[in-house]
Structure 1
Amino acid sequence: MKTSTSLGTVVSAFQALWKRSPEQLLFTFADERGRDDEKVTAAELGEAASSIASALGGWGFRPGDRALLVYPPGPDFVRALLGCLAAGVVPVPVYPPNPVRLGSDLGGFRSIVDSCEPVAVLTSSAYDRARTVGAVTGFFDRSKPEWPRLRWHRTDRVRPASFDWHAASADDPALLQYTSGSTAAPKGVVITHGNLACEVAANAHDLGLGQDTVGVFWLPQYHDLGLISVILSTLTGNSHTYLLSPLSFLQRPALWFEVMSRVGATHTAAPNFAFELAVRKTSAEQRASWDLSALRVVMSAAEPIRVSTVDSFYAAFAVSGLLRSSFYPAYGLAEHTVSVSMGGQAVLHLDRASLQRGEVVQAADGLPVVGCGRITKPSSSVLIVDPSTGAVCAPDRVGEVWVTSGTKAAGYFGLPDETQRTFSAQVPGDERSYLRTGDLGFFHDGELFVTGRLKDVIIINGRNHYPQDVEDSVRDCHTSVRPGGVVAFGVPGEAGERLVLFVETREKKAPAEEIAEAVRRRVFETHGLAVDEVVVGAQGLVLKTTSGKVRRRACRQAFLEGRA
């Protein structure tokens, strides 16, 4: 093994681990039944990465070039990711287009190709085999014009080879992380080697990672939380990580808990919807059979956290030995290499009318808001800023969250104007450049509370209304409303913004008029708002990202264009 070590990068940390403990087990990949399917040690991973890095040169890649990573969940993705980093090639993980819904998936795939201009696509036989299976060959006929004209290479077929690993500096781009598209078209966030090193070190400290850590995760490998906080953190030796396919979890949520119980998991993470799904899709008998007492950290991140979800989850899983103290809210975004704050502890109840005016006033019967933790990274600065004036807000006001630290990304790939607007914000008297997150929030007793998205706020009669609050209020207004299938947004009208809701139903022949009336009644009773239109439909009406986030602006656009 030849090494060319550059201190302070994830790559150099892995190389040191490979040299020191080649037989250390890093990943175990579980199958759809929760059984151990493939184990990967530092030695096996390092040798595979060297072979892939060598092959990249033969395929025409040079340091700094982009490679699109299109893989189903599994070890081939991890090997290709590390192989790219070893060669100095910038990996671009993307959601693999689904052969049965290419019409919808290829649009997003093409937009990423046009944005990052990759040399080629890297994939594996597990994904690419559909080209050669007669019954579905047409799905992957990449001679058709809807597919971008790119070369595809299978990394699971490369020959063993040694390679002198590329020495990267902290400022060099390490990867492009495309945003989920929940608020706009996907943009490629340039994450540097220095960003990754800082984030991985902060995670290890904040989450108590070490040799005794056993993580179990099903988070998508192309999403920043799964990619950076799980996979890249594991590559530095922070834990032994069990990885499940997201599809396996969605098909049978009990699988997540079966594996955690079997291996004595200490850490896991998921968005809010997963905890709701876990309560609905597991039985009391199943929960009584699992031992989750070893769990120290159950992180909730990537989407707004609902107090009712947390309460019902921990009440349901108390019989499994799960302690409420393990709950670990966090807040972050791709533009900050994931985390901003960690380890939320408090729940505040806020007066709704005051919150609509941007004021923080506690009330016993108010809206519950979960804290997202404290700012823990060294040299971090997080401010709450009035987005219209650029002035720092008073402590009792809601404003936009601005942040700067060693994990603030370098910008958006190929978008200098957007990078300047988003990553170089400044406040009077402060020479530092801040990232504008686009999220609204406030601090209370040193803890960050996030209340919504700046551009999602609905303004009616001069008052701010957060769409997620409206959505939460109608979830249980009728038995036919599908959980997770509600979206609220504003559209322009002659007298100001109009309120529109999309509502999905559990069954195809649900009583649409009755549901719409129940929605209108609940929104008026809870928020004092008249709903201008309720669109009721089957699952799929509410557009979402591949990671499950509601795409409010896409839903709004579909409504305005008459497509919903």
Structure 2
Amino acid sequence: MTEHNVLPVDVADPGEAWDRGPRQGWPPHGADADPFDTVVRNVQRLAARVPAREAVTYVPDFPDEQPEATLTYGELDTRARQIAAWLAENCAPGDRAVLLYPNGTAFASAFFGCLYAGIVAVPAPLPLNSSGSQLRRLQRILDAAGASVVLIDAEHLPLVAESTEGTAVRCVATDAAPLGDAAAWRHRPVRRGDLAMLQFTSGSTTEPKGVMLSHENLAYTIDLIVRAFHLPPRMNTASWLPLYHDMGLIGGLLIALRKGGQAAMMSPTAFLRDPYRWLELAGRFSAGLSPAPNFAYDLCVRRIPAERALGLDLGSWLVAANGAEPVHAGTLAAFRERFAPAGFRADSMCPCYGMAEVGLFVTGNAPVEDAVVTLVHAEPLERGEFAPVAAPDEAAGAARRAAPGRSDDSAYRSLVSSGPDPFGYDARIVDPESRRELPDGRVGEIWLRGPSVALGYWGLDDETAAVFDGHTDDGEGPFLRTGDLAVRAGGQLYITGRLKELIIVRGRNIYPQDLEARLGALDPAFAAGNTVAFGVDCPDGEHVVILHELDAQKGESVPPADLAGIAIAGLTKYAGVAVANICFVAPGTIRHSTSGKKRRTHMRELFMTGALQPRYESLETAVRDGYRSTGHV
């Protein structure tokens, strides 16, 4: 099949084309079309035609003390060639290089240096100190990837070099001086099946695994995002997300370079310290796309008062992609209301859905469409049935205003669509037990196949077979089994939860995010802390357990035993099943993945093995006998 671009105008300049055409079905371009166009070829064309155009800018945490760093397309290409020349001399094609950088221009240069040289890039979290957990995670990634080299910046080189001393892994700083001669680099043809990178999963439900993404996977994923969101030419992005995460790498960096725009970046720490800086960054660089998980939009509403929001200019923000975790209807409404005076348009809030195993993206609402929020009856949903509320009566209206989850009387739940039926995939909703395809209106596991689906997990044949080789009961496949529960209805895809995190009590499906959200509304002492809900197996069935981070200083006005009583009574009434196991832990105890997802499965393991140090526990007899040798803490 002949290789050519998705958009023929891109041959002249990838930033000059804007696909306003309709979304097509799977395969995304029909039998005779081929969107394969590598990110390498795209950057090289831009470097040749517009070398002085700014490509990547990093805004430091303390602008008064540190200068901004900017790379033009020409400089990005030159630095990538320098790194690629060194890699070609010191590594073999297909070797893995772990990239350890804070957000910034050095990462971009190293990432493209790997792709230029035919080396597999492995973005990973940079250990910021010598703490055991950070270095252990790095060592697991180094071992799992079989890496031969670590590319890093000079500032952090000593720490990592010390930890790898005595191993076969070389640590090299790429920003101190040019590693190699850019003129010595020789073009290496890229084939569609060549491995481009290992994207380690966020580890929200299991240990991180290296997802194998080919150059073809990356090309198709980027193409889907461009067309799903109708992204314009020369579009800039703004992001605080870490570049070792797929949303930060693809949504924050590679999309901008694909459109011939500028990727503006800041650090996650700066965002958490002051969320205003993220929105200020988007406005200053006229970003058309800026992605983030739901919690980031919620944090902006809580931390940026209306008066301060007036100082922003968000009129250029076309796509506020909201994904990586459950999207809450209340967050959408509150963000729109708070930042509309700053120019933020209601249809710019775009809920979306994706995962590392497809590069990043499955589906998302286009900015020309308002996000779809549907109020459904909660009890049928727990049985796996999608039952919308027919008329906006008084109770339904109250539930629609409540967010997230159900209303006070537990009769309803607001579901936010993650976008229309995925147009870039053959997507099925499948009963995970029987492997039977389900009709619209029934909740099941999302199964996917298409050119964006990754090659599998690096070095994990059994896990690859279990996840990437799904076959329906009639033998059709292979499909990627996402592990996500969803329902199709009215041409929309609604994500309802994670299969491994679903709590089943007496045949009822309880979604942990509903309980977590509800707890925060029961008492001011619960409003600020993190919460996770999960189920544990006992001889008489599954029991619900709630872990909540309780700040002793803020909660000391109400004794823990009384707070436990409030939680048990309120959640039991809300859920309609017994929620009678409460564990209060110190702030910072609940673990999150690299993308901010709650690691419910991991916290469940810590609870079951007694690894937590709770400040207070109130447990049912069955749970206490099964998982504790002593009584209440």
TM-score of the two chains, using structure 1 as the length reference? 0.92
- Partner of residue 114 from structure 2, selected from 84, 103, 108: 84
Ranges in structure 2 where 5+ consecutive residues have no aligned partner? 1-10, 12-34, 390-395, 400-411, 613-633
State the match for 2:333 in structure 1.
311
Name the stretch that deviates more: 195-204 or 343-352.
Answer: 343-352
Which runs of structure 2 are paired with 1:213-292 in the superposition (5 Å)?
213-292=235-314
Note if contact 2:469-2:478 (Cα within 8 Å) is conserved in structure 1: yes
How many angstroms apart in 2 are the aligned matches of 1:220 and 1:423? 27
Note if contact 2:36-2:220 (Cα within 8 Å) is conserved in structure 1: no
1:294 aligns with 2:324: no
State the match for 2:608 in structure 1.
560
TM-score of the two chains, using structure 2 as the length reference? 0.83
1:170 aligns with 2:192: yes
Note if contact 1:482-1:506 (Cα within 8 Å) is conserved in structure 2: no
- Partner of residue 506 from structure 2, selected from 452, 455, 461: 461
Q: CA deviation at 1:294?
A: 2.0
CA RMSD of aligned residues (A): 2.1
Q: How many residues align?
A: 547
Letter in 1 for 2:431: D
How many angstroms apart in 2 are the aligned matches of 1:90 and 1:449? 35
Q: CA deviation at 1:396?
A: 2.0
Note if contact 1:224-1:334 (Cα within 8 Å) is conserved in structure 2: yes
How many angstroms apart in 2 are the aligned matches of 1:66 and 1:534? 45
Which runs of structure 2 are paired with 1:94-493 in the superposition (5 Å)?
94-99=124-129, 102-128=131-157, 141-142=162-163, 150-156=169-175, 157=177, 158-162=179-183, 163-343=185-365, 345-363=371-389, 364=396, 365=399, 366-378=412-424, 380-428=425-473, 431-483=476-528, 485-493=530-538
Ranges in structure 1 where 5+ consecutive residues have no aligned partner? 132-139
How many angstroms apart in 2 are the aligned matches of 1:109 and 1:259? 30
Q: CA deviation at 1:525?
A: 1.8
Q: CA deviation at 1:530?
A: 2.0
How many angstroms apart in 1 are the aligned matches of 2:529 and 2:501? 17
Note if contact 2:530-2:548 (Cα within 8 Å) is conserved in structure 1: yes
How many angstroms apart in 1 are the aligned matches of 2:54 and 2:233? 11
Note if contact 2:157-2:172 (Cα within 8 Å) is conserved in structure 1: no
Q: CA deviation at 1:26?
A: 1.2
Q: CA deviation at 1:517?
A: 2.2
How many angstroms apart in 2 are the aligned matches of 1:203 and 1:347? 22
How many angstroms apart in 1 are the aligned matches of 2:413 and 2:36? 48
Q: CA deviation at 1:290?
A: 1.3
How many angstroms apart in 1 are the aligned matches of 2:561 and 2:150? 48
Note if contact 2:471-2:479 (Cα within 8 Å) is conserved in structure 1: yes
How many angstroms apart in 1 are the aligned matches of 2:447 and 2:507? 24
How many angstroms apart in 1 are the aligned matches of 2:53 and 2:475? 46
Q: CA deviation at 1:207?
A: 2.2
How many angstroms apart in 2 are the aligned matches of 1:129 and 1:255? 31
Letter in 2 for 1:151: R
- Aligned residue for 1:80, secondary structure, equals helix
State the match for 1:64 in structure 2.
94
How many angstroms apart in 1 are the aligned matches of 2:563 and 2:468? 43
- Aligned residue for 1:269, secondary structure, equals coil
| 1:234–1:214 CA distance, 2 compared to 1 (3 A) | closer
Q: CA deviation at 1:508?
A: 4.1
How many angstroms apart in 2 are the aligned matches of 1:383 and 1:516? 42
| 1:121–1:492 CA distance, 2 compared to 1 (3 A) | same
Q: CA deviation at 1:240?
A: 1.7
Letter in 1 for 2:491: G
> % of aligned pairs identical?
34
How many angstroms apart in 2 are the aligned matches of 1:508 and 1:561? 28
Note if contact 2:549-2:586 (Cα within 8 Å) is conserved in structure 1: yes
1:53 aligns with 2:84: yes
| 1:472–1:51 CA distance, 2 compared to 1 (3 A) | same
How many angstroms apart in 1 are the aligned matches of 2:81 and 2:457? 29
| 1:250–1:507 CA distance, 2 compared to 1 (3 A) | farther
- Aligned residue for 1:339, secondary structure, equals coil
Find runs of 4+ consecutive structure 1 residues off by over 3 angstroms.
Answer: 33-36, 375-378, 428-432, 506-509
Q: CA deviation at 1:280?
A: 1.4
| 1:114–1:130 CA distance, 2 compared to 1 (3 A) | closer
Note if contact 1:545-1:551 (Cα within 8 Å) is conserved in structure 2: yes
State the match for 1:517 in structure 2.
565
- Aligned residue for 1:175, secondary structure, equals strand
Note if contact 2:237-2:253 (Cα within 8 Å) is conserved in structure 1: no
How many angstroms apart in 1 are the aligned matches of 2:512 and 2:36? 46
Q: Deviations over 1:121-162 (max 9, x none)?
A: 11111322558xxxxxxxx742789xx763211111324432
How many angstroms apart in 1 are the aligned matches of 2:195 and 2:213? 6
How many angstroms apart in 2 are the aligned matches of 1:109 and 1:243? 24
How many angstroms apart in 1 are the aligned matches of 2:497 and 2:168? 40
| 1:144–1:478 CA distance, 2 compared to 1 (3 A) | farther
State the match for 1:538 in structure 2.
586
Letter in 2 for 1:150: V
